[in-house]
Structure 1
Amino acid sequence: MGRFAGRSQNKHFILWLLFIGYLVDYLDRMVMSVAVVYIKEDFQLDPAAVGAILSSFFISYAIMQIPGGWLTDKLGSRKVLIWSIIIWSVFTVFTGLAWSLTSLIVIRFLFGIGQGGYPAASQKGIADYYPLKERPRASAFLMSSNYFGMALAPLIAAPMILWLGWRNMFVVIGLLGVLLTIAFWVYFKPQNQLDSSSFAKKNSVPLKELLANTELWKITVMWFAAGIVNWGLASWIPSYLMEARGMDIMSMGFFAALPGISTGIAMVFSGWLLDRYFVNREKYYAAFGMLISGIFLYLMFTTTSIPLAMLYLNICMVFKSFAFTVAFALPHKLMPKKSIGSAMGIINMGAQAAGFVSPLVMGFMISFTGSYNAAFWFLIVCCLISIIAAISIKKSEISVQTDETEVLAQ
């Protein structure tokens, strides 16, 4: 037991545990983008229906961001993390048991409710274990897991679907949640949450104050527009590579994984770059990233060369991650620890609302035009919106209050 206690107070071990949790979170989420190619055939769906399946997760996930953040600040990160993992794992398994379009949409909606608590709770976990100065870099490392999860999804899903079928794939992947739940139950134990009843009673969350903060909403809009690009590409690139670029499923799995790998590596260094060279200039870091992302997105879908298209897609995703880094780093610098969960919930609500809007709008555009080009132009416009929102942020007005809180582990 002493060994377990030691690990539960080791901040680097906890960061890796949160990282693995997010990796599985994204794996469970993103395999749908690969599986939907086969689900579409089984259920005889058009692109608009596929967009509805992909979007059903994001609407519930977006709805849960603010309540998930509030619950995290009120009840503590430990409870929210564990219950989030349990719920999303159950509905990952249920996805493999879906019998119709309607059942699939309902299951993915409930799956999104389960995953909705993890983002804010994981960021709160960083605040529970890391001192103020180290949180932005720890956050950037944690969020790089999102892109590694995106990369793993096609690499794992493609061969599993060929060997087991899409239904059994969801069942097997969902069972990973059992191991993850045990790991969090044993190791994730912030000292300030060991007495959960007193923790909930003494924690008041300034949610109204946060909701009235215009600068926080500007960060949210910046990340919403960047999130449309992120989720639009993540949701439709597998179908695009197979249908517009003529790849088979194994080739698609390889090429669709590359942007996640390159962007995940970039995210690890992005937090360091932000801390080293862009302190108090974070908004320009985000705006520059979205500008380069939009340029290379245009080059990606207009080139006739598949290798060049893949190169441009990777560059697009790497620079888009600059906005991602800023969206999750700024609150750690500017918000009090007691409201980190709620602030992250508000910001991430923007990105996840984008996850609902983007696949759906792109699906209708592809159905209406019979081409992916109009859908990619929609993403470029969103790059411009993100740039405008980023530049409009006035950092001096963001902070609710400054506080340095106790550090639970070193």
Structure 2
Amino acid sequence: MQALLKHYKIITILFLGWFLSYVDRFLINIALPFIGKDYHLSAASQGLMLSVFFAGYALVQIPGGWLSDRIGSRKVMVFSVLMLSVFTALTGLAWSVTSLLVIRFLFGMAEGGFPTASFRALSEYFPATDRSKIQSVLLSSNPLALVIAPLVAAPLIYWLDWRRMFMIVSAMGILATVLYARGLGRPTQSSSAAQAPGRHGPLISVLRDPVVWKICVVNFGLNVLIWGFLSWLPSYLLRVRHLDLLHVGVLSSLPGIAGIAGMLIGGWLADSYFAYREKYLLMITVGLAALCLLAMINASSLSAVIVCQLIIAFSLKVAFIAIWSMPLKFENTNATGSTAGVINMGSQLAGVVSPAVMGFLISAYGGSYTGAFVFLIACAVLCIVISMTMRVASQRNYPASIEQQTQPH
């Protein structure tokens, strides 16, 4: 019973870190129109404001994964969560466009080690049979944050301003830092992943593995869709659908509700009907999201837009779970952080590319979002094409490429 309670405590602490990380990313999306107004920024410049965070984040994915393999996940996560609080406050204290860009870039670098360390923590604290289910729970923090962030940010900006909104939210990170420092304790698993922080780990084998890089590319295309859609949805509702801020806050939270359902249903599908056939689940849901994006471009009513955005959010989160179910079934526990770093680098590079390209296209088309949405649809096609090249295997011979390369002979 005591061991079970400890597992629940660790899951709760890890979930809180993921939740706060995602909340911060969504806060900037809500604040962006007002930051742009204060600093007289074009859509392209606002896109750059979003992209610099992901540029810093992407730079540390592989080094952060390697560091987690070397010194253990706990130290990396404590540092990352502390920096989340510090840089959230600094965002509200920015005094110029340049300072804000530098703060967001450094913010991305400081926080970037968290996801790979969290992925590593699954190997350190939980048996292999439970890791996929627990990962689905942790990743459901993404859509939950999408629900909560607009409901918190929009009223605070409305009653105060965007600067004080960031200052208030930063206080949550202090509590999370204390929980991470005191609540995690020592790893409990007897695996080599738990016993041997300090070993270099088979990073070279990870970097040479074609399966890992294919998943990385698909993860890039999928996250271009996710971050492009979520980053510009509030601005789209304000400028194209002409809604007020409070209604935008409510409607921007609805995809989060659909996303939670997508995460939970996606985890069940990936472990049952699509077990070891996750690429088909990925292709179906990404294709559905692309069709709904096309429908949203031509939607004549607000109700049609809402239906489309709910289906898009649901489909993309199912696809997200499908991608992360793949490495959990073949990666070597000695290289958990490094594997996650390579794959997650794709999603962070998407965060760099997607907002900036969409901002450029919106400016180039005179404020129209049509070109930006077509760009997202093209990325959906990329995901489907690369997924078609992945080998589908039975449970008995599912690709264990890294595991095979790193086992002693």
TM-score normalised over the length of structure 2 = 0.93
Q: Which residue of 1 aligns with 2:225?
A: 229
Is 2:266–2:322's contact at 8 Å kept on the other side of the alignment? no
- 2: distance between equivalents of 1:75 and 1:214? 27
Is 1:267–1:325's contact at 8 Å kept on the other side of the alignment? yes
Q: Which residue of 1 aligns with 2:262?
A: 266
- 1: distance between equivalents of 2:35 and 2:60? 26
- 1: distance between equivalents of 2:354 and 2:42? 17
Tell me which of 391, 394, 401 is aligned to 1:394: 391
Q: Deviations over 1:67-115 (max 9, x none)?
A: 1111111111100110001112111100001111111100000111122
SS at match of 1:103: helix
Q: Which residue of 2 aligns with 1:316?
A: 312
Q: Which residue of 2 aligns with 1:305?
A: 301
**In the alignment, residue 314 of structure 1 is paired with which amino acid?**
L
Is 2:278–2:325's contact at 8 Å kept on the other side of the alignment? no
Change in Cα spacing, 1:402 to 1:276, as seen in structure 2 (3 Å) is farther
Is 1:57–1:110's contact at 8 Å kept on the other side of the alignment? yes
Q: Which residue of 2 aligns with 1:406?
A: none
**In the alignment, residue 317 of structure 2 is paired with which amino acid?**
S
Shift of 1:10: 1.8
Tell me which of 254, 260, 282 is aligned to 1:286: 282
Is 2:330–2:399's contact at 8 Å kept on the other side of the alignment? no
Q: Which residue of 2 aligns with 1:342?
A: 338
**In the alignment, residue 402 of structure 2 is paired with which amino acid?**
V
Tell me which of 65, 70, 74 is aligned to 1:78: 74
**In the alignment, residue 55 of structure 2 is paired with which amino acid?**
I
Is 1:66–1:342's contact at 8 Å kept on the other side of the alignment? yes
SS at match of 2:94: coil
- 2: distance between equivalents of 1:239 and 1:187? 39
- 2: distance between equivalents of 1:140 and 1:286? 15
Note if 1:10 corresponds to 2:6.
yes
- 2: distance between equivalents of 1:71 and 1:63? 13
Tell me which of 155, 160, 163 is aligned to 2:156: 160
- 2: distance between equivalents of 1:402 and 1:9? 35
SS at match of 2:149: helix
- State which drifts further: 374-383 or 332-341: 332-341
Change in Cα spacing, 1:88 to 1:8, as seen in structure 2 (3 Å) is farther
Q: Which residue of 2 aligns with 1:114?
A: 110
**In the alignment, residue 303 of structure 1 is paired with which amino acid?**
A
**In the alignment, residue 115 of structure 1 is paired with which amino acid?**
E
Q: Which runs of 5+ in 1 are unaligned?
A: 404-410
Q: Which residue of 1 aligns with 2:145?
A: 149
**In the alignment, residue 232 of structure 1 is paired with which amino acid?**
G
Is 1:136–1:330's contact at 8 Å kept on the other side of the alignment? no
Note if 1:90 corresponds to 2:86.
yes
Tell me which of 319, 323, 327 is aligned to 2:323: 327
Is 2:266–2:319's contact at 8 Å kept on the other side of the alignment? no
- 2: distance between equivalents of 1:402 and 1:10? 33
- 2: distance between equivalents of 1:200 and 1:218? 28
Is 1:147–1:260's contact at 8 Å kept on the other side of the alignment? yes
Note if 1:205 corresponds to 2:201.
yes
Q: Which residue of 2 aligns with 1:408?
A: none
Is 2:125–2:188's contact at 8 Å kept on the other side of the alignment? no
Shift of 1:33: 0.5
Shift of 1:301: 1.9
- 2: distance between equivalents of 1:156 and 1:89? 16
Note if 1:361 corresponds to 2:357.
yes
- 2: distance between equivalents of 1:305 and 1:293? 19
- 1: distance between equivalents of 2:149 and 2:296? 22
**In the alignment, residue 339 of structure 1 is paired with which amino acid?**
A
Change in Cα spacing, 1:308 to 1:282, as seen in structure 2 (3 Å) is same
- 2: distance between equivalents of 1:398 and 1:374? 40
Shift of 1:7: 7.6
Is 1:335–1:402's contact at 8 Å kept on the other side of the alignment? no
Is 1:267–1:321's contact at 8 Å kept on the other side of the alignment? yes
Tell me which of 90, 101, 108 is aligned to 1:105: 101
Tell me which of 171, 174, 182 is aligned to 1:175: 171
Q: Which residue of 2 aligns with 1:372?
A: 369
- 2: distance between equivalents of 1:191 and 1:15? 13
Shift of 1:25: 0.9
**In the alignment, residue 105 of structure 2 is paired with which amino acid?**
F
- 2: distance between equivalents of 1:11 and 1:316? 33
- State which drifts further: 8-17 or 124-133: 8-17
Note if 1:134 corresponds to 2:130.
yes
Q: Which residue of 1 aligns with 2:56?
A: 60
Aligned-residue identity in percent: 39
Q: Deviations over 1:204-254 (max 9, x none)?
A: 311111111111111111110010000001110000000000010000000
Change in Cα spacing, 1:115 to 1:153, as seen in structure 2 (3 Å) is same
- State which drifts further: 117-126 or 234-243: 117-126
Is 1:228–1:379's contact at 8 Å kept on the other side of the alignment? yes
- State which drifts further: 234-243 or 299-308: 299-308
- 2: distance between equivalents of 1:169 and 1:81? 24
Is 2:278–2:323's contact at 8 Å kept on the other side of the alignment? no
- 2: distance between equivalents of 1:267 and 1:137? 11
Shift of 1:401: 1.2
**In the alignment, residue 388 of structure 1 is paired with which amino acid?**
V
Tell me which of 381, 385, 405 is aligned to 1:384: 381
**In the alignment, residue 175 of structure 1 is paired with which amino acid?**
A
**In the alignment, residue 401 of structure 1 is paired with which amino acid?**
E
Is 2:66–2:200's contact at 8 Å kept on the other side of the alignment? no
TM-score normalised over the length of structure 1 = 0.93
Shift of 1:13: 2.1
Q: Which runs of 5+ in 2 are unaligned?
A: 190-194, 393-397
Alignment: residue pair count: 396
- 2: distance between equivalents of 1:398 and 1:360? 36
**In the alignment, residue 135 of structure 1 is paired with which amino acid?**
R
**In the alignment, residue 365 of structure 1 is paired with which amino acid?**
L
**In the alignment, residue 227 of structure 1 is paired with which amino acid?**
N
**In the alignment, residue 288 of structure 2 is paired with which amino acid?**
I
